[in-house]
Amino acid sequence: MKKETVMPRILPDETDLYALTDSRLSLGRPLEYVAEELLRSGVRILQYREKKFPASKMLEECRVLRELTNKYGACFIVDDHVDIAMLSGADGVHVGQDDLPVWEVRKLVGPDMIIGLSTHSPEQAKKAVKAGADYIGVGPIFPTRTKEDVADPVGLEYLEWVAANIKLPFVAIGGIKAANIGDVRKRGGYCAALVSELVGSEDIAAKITELRELCS
């Protein structure tokens, strides 16, 4: 009998970089290529975030990423789409303030799937803890153009507040690049989510090395 694969439950406090996909910024390269470059370079959390694709295409791509993340022992998160996260066998789903509430998502996905929740204020962070989120997104720290209808930048002050007051794992996100990731780290953001800085790099492996050196 074939042994069932145990999926990793890696949370943001256990890693340094949290990568998100974005086909618009990937220099025309296939998703599989970009994802494998990220994973080969040691990224341990990969989130699928595509806002404009048909559900069937998203599911197809998520199943490809599930295979790749299994290959590299990485955690696979799907943005927003609880159904696609479940159908693709993802490790987790990340939702926003205007998506299904965390406690309703939990009813659908069961006790084992990771649930992340975006937060933009201390009040939202406190509510995320009470709602049962496994981790929170903190941001956007800086202005960003990689997401439509994005909240106003919360700045490093909110990041620092979360680091001092919230016990949940958290990931800093929003406009983080090589030029400012050191400041994010100094203010308590030990896990940083990046989109364009990673998938838009001509040499993804070299960019990841650079980012880690800036955080050391």
Q: Angle at CA 48, nearest 5°, toward 168 and 170? A: 15
- Among 29, 106, 127, 147, the active-site one is 147
> Rounded distance, CA 177 to CA 25, Å?
14
116 contact partners, CB below 8 Å, separation of at least 6 = 77, 92, 93, 94, 95, 133, 134, 135, 136, 137, 171
Q: Which residues pair with 118 in a beta bridge?
A: 137
- Catalytic, 118? Answer yes
Indicate if 49 belongs to the active site.
Answer: yes
Residue 207 annotated as catalytic: no
Catalytic residue among 26, 41, 118, 201: 118
Helical axes 122-131 vs 155-165, angle rounded to 10°: 40
For the record, the structure tokens of 47 come out as 């989130």
The torsion angle over the Cα atoms of residues 25, 210, 193 and 38, rounded to 10 degrees, is 60
Residues carrying an active site annotation? 49, 118, 147
